[in-house]
Amino acid sequence: MTSAAMRRDEDGAPVIAAARAALYLRVSTGRQAESDLSIPDQRRQIEGYCLSRGWEVAAEFVEPGNTATDDRRPAFQAMIDAAMTKPPSFTVIVVHSFSRFFRDQFQFEFYVRKLAKNGVKLVSITQDLGDDPMSVLMRQIMTLFDEYQSKENGKHTLRAMKENARQGFWNGARAPIGYRVIAAGERGAKIKKKLEIDPIQAETVRRIYRMALNGVDNKGPMGLKSIATWLNENNVRTRDGGRWGVGAVHQVLTRTTYIGQHRFNTRDHKTRTPKPESEHAVMGVTAIVSEAEFEAVQRSLKARSPKMMAPMAVGGPTLLTGICFCACCGGAMTLRTGTSSVGREYRYYTCSTKARQGATGCPGITVPMDRLTEAVVDHLEARLLDPARLEALMDQILERRDEWVNQRREHVADLARRATEAEAKLKRLYEAIENGVIDVSDPSLKDRIAELTATRDQAKGESERALAHILKIGPTITPETLRAFAAALRMKLRNGDGTFARDQVRAVAQRVEVMSKREVRIRGLRSELLRTLTAASGVEAAVLGVRGFEPKWRTRQDSNLWPLPSEGSALSS
């Protein structure tokens, strides 16, 4: 391809026709595009180059703030589409340098050859090369170095961004729901930014955690779909005013940002595949939920996951399915049934290892289901629901009650202040419209009014709900209220369809180990026990800030060991 195309007139004589050129102008970042220096300079130089060769500028494609390491560029794709028409609307694509076109050597050659098949040539005004084999080799070497330089720059940029995150500064992008970006100071020409809690959206995050742990009105833990449904039905919207989905709820419940540890560089930006934890950079932020609440939610999600436990074990009526294990081999105890000679059906918990491998795999233990269930419920009643023990266990909650209430009242005041500010701005806006200062036909006016109205209404709603949570704390817990609570809980454990007993046992006892036909060990986290008790007694779960480590409630063995009740006939093996 030369700088002119050949055609013939009516007499067959050759006529020189000027080439039609397309200009492709690109900068890598939005900041470069905003400065409005690089693109005008590229345009000036390229237009001068075309003028010197007598080329007609047929089109211009501008790419403000897009990397050349891939082809996901709107203007680039529009240019390729125009170049691939038959006949093409231009015969030459002119760039300032080959790096403006692509910084990936393989992709560069792919598109150059694709364009050439349709009669379109790529020309760089600063790297003017011919079509001979030596020029092609030089072009390939140049593009290979462009790719290398791009990867080196990316490596150093990522290293700087990781260090910026470790120092507590925000690297950009949209803040997670519950936070907002604020300026934190200047370093040279750069404005450093940090995350601070958004009082309105933070309350939505706290509510999602409360529902995952205790449900609505302490009716029991809720799953992802149930939480999303409740939020949508109660008009609790996302930050953009949209509806909640299972994925959005799961992201809130699994993001470590909410316990003060925002993780940067967790995924590859191209493939979206997870990176190893050693490459993560942890940025410290103000926590919205406690670490104990977050860990409890993770255990709940894990227990509900079909990969970890069958759905029938999560929602089925059997009390100990999924948490009962053989103390000899650690294998799960599974439910088995049998029928006697007179037609009576028996149900047993049996070691699954022995069932699969026989006595050589594990000696095995078999216990009637009714006896084991009764032993566990008896343990909850006799040991954990003793008023004196309840009072000792809840001392920590009572100590933190006043501190928590004061924090919540400050939060309510902040929400009320935001609602008042939005109301005042709306009032001033309406006055400006009445006085003719603002043109009512301004398209941005409607959006601004809607934004302020949504902020005011949401702040008011969150303030009322937060105040209601404070009022739900109720009067100081006394020995009398603890006795009444213990009596009510005993009744619920024995009555109903077994759903309440199942949820409470699984919340308190994460593992039930059958040691023999006469003895069982119940293991659980103390923090989970306290959380379950507070939920059942109506105390706000956010008061609890106790973190459990060892899986036991008390140091004495009698808290965890409980004998199986005896019965008239001997157990079957």
- For residues 392 and 99, what is the distance between their CA atoms, to the nearest angstrom? 70
CB 190 within 8 Å of CB 164: no
Q: State the residue for tokens 């290979």.
A: 144
Which residue type occupies 70? D
Integer distance in angstroms from the first to the last C-alpha of the chain?
Answer: 90
In the structure encoding, which two tokens stand for residue 355, read together? 């069932």
Q: State the residue for tokens 């509806």.
A: 243
- Tell me if residue 28 is catalytic: yes
Q: State the residue for tokens 């050859």.
A: 113
SS (H, E, C) 457-478: HHHHHHHHHHHHHHHHCCCCCC
CB 541 within 8 Å of CB 213: yes
Number of other CB atoms surrounding residue 334 within 10 Å: 16
CB 101 within 8 Å of CB 46: no
SS (H, E, C) 387-445: HHHHHHHCHHHHHHHHHHHHHHHHHHHHHHHHHHHHHHHHHHHHHHHHCCCCCCCCHHH
Strand partners, 347: 337
In the structure encoding, which two tokens stand for residue 403, read together? 């501190």
Which residue type occupies 228? A
Catalytic residue among 3, 28, 300, 527, which? 28
Residues annotated catalytic, as ranges: 28
